[in-house]
Amino acid sequence: MTDTPIYRPLPLPDRLDLTPEESLAAVEAFRDRMRRRHSVRDFSDRPVDAAVIAACIATAGSAPSGANHQPWHFAAISDPALKSRIRAAAEDEERAFYGGGAGDEWLRALEPIGTGVSKPHLEIAPWLIVVFAQRWGENPDGSRRKNYYVPESVGIATGFLIAAIHHAGLVCLEHTPNPMKFLSALCGRPGSEKAVMILPVGYPAEGATVPAAAKVKKPLAEIMTLLAPRD
Question: pLDDT tens-digit profile of 41-70?
Answer: 999 999 999 999 999 999 999 999 999 999
- Give 65's contacts (C-beta < 8 A, 6+ positions apart): 71, 72, 149, 153, 156, 157
**Per the domain annotation, does 116 fall within a domain?**
yes
pLDDT in the model for residue 141: 87
- For the chain, the domain total comes to 1
- Give 57's contacts (C-beta < 8 A, 6+ positions apart): 74, 76, 129, 161
**Per the domain annotation, does 184 fall within a domain?**
yes
pLDDT at 2 over 80: no
**Per the domain annotation, does 197 fall within a domain?**
yes
**Per the domain annotation, does 229 fall within a domain?**
no
Please answer whether residues 136 and 67 qualify as being in contact, where contact means their C-beta atoms are separated by less than 8 angstroms: no
CATH number at residue 59: 3.40.109.10
Q: Highest-confidence range of 118-122, 129-133, 175-179, by mean pLDDT?
A: 129-133
Short-list 176, 162, 206, 174, CA closest to 45: 206
Give me the domain span that covers residue 125: 38-205
Q: What is the pLDDT confidence band of residue 221, given thresholds at 50, 70 and 90?
A: very high
- Give the whole-angstrom CA distance, residue 41 versus residue 126: 13
- Is pTM beyond 0.75 here? yes
**Per the domain annotation, does 12 fall within a domain?**
no
- DSSP reduced 3-state for 231: coil
**Per the domain annotation, does 61 fall within a domain?**
yes
CB-CB neighbours of 13 under 10 Å: 5
Percent of the chain clearing pLDDT 90 (strictly above): 78
- Give the whole-angstrom CA distance, residue 48 versus residue 166: 13
**Per the domain annotation, does 8 fall within a domain?**
no
pLDDT at 1 over 60: no
Residue-averaged pLDDT of the chain: 92
